[in-house]
Amino acid sequence: MTFDAIDMAGNKARGKRPTFFKDTDTDRLLSILMALAGELAVARERIDTLERLLEARNLLKQTDIEGYVPDTTAARERGLWHQEFIARILRVVQQEIEQFDEDREAQQQARRENVSASTELEELIEELASS
């Protein structure tokens, strides 16, 4: 029997998913964050294992890792990776900000058009009144 993580991701517990907050979006966000925290814990353990194995085999010391200073190329690559990572993590927030900006612009445009229509209407009324 083989383990297929993608198939397992679709598995559901029986019954209704419990909720802890009034807003179900908060429950979803908490679930995603806990899954991410679990992945981070596993990755941290694997890194620790690698560091200990490298040190045990005299290939590298923990102090070498802690004292490592990336060169310009490595620093640039790390910086790009961080920017992309943050963009992926905060994609939902960025999309909501963009939607908010679009909605605000649409509201401002509607107000301008409403003001313009009101002004045109007022001018028409004045013109009719003076004639």
Res. 1 pLDDT band, cuts 50 70 90: low
- Output the pLDDT for position 44: 96
CB-facing half-sphere around the CA of 54: CA atoms within 13 A: 13
Stated as kind and residue range, the H or E segment containing 30 is helix 24-56
Do 51 and 62 touch, CB atoms closer than 8 A? yes
- pLDDT of 96 over the 70 cut: yes
Distance CA 7, CA 27 (A): 23
Give me the mean pLDDT over the 12-32 stretch. 83
Q: Which range has the top average pLDDT, 1-10, 54-63, 84-93?
A: 54-63
Under the phi-then-psi rule, with left for phi > 0, alpha for psi from -120 to 50, and beta for the rest, what region is 69?
beta
Res. 73 pLDDT band, cuts 50 70 90: very high
Q: Give the residue, 15 or 75, on which the prediction is more confident.
A: 75
Tell me the pTM.
0.53
- Output the pLDDT for position 75: 96
Per-residue H/E/C for 37-106: HHHHHHHHHHHHHHHHHHHHCCCCCHHHHHCCCCCHHHHHHHHHHHHHHHHHHCHHHHHHHHHHHHHHHH
Res. 77 pLDDT band, cuts 50 70 90: very high
Question: pLDDT tens across 43-62, in order?
Answer: 999 999 999 999 999 999 98
- pLDDT of 24 over the 80 cut: yes
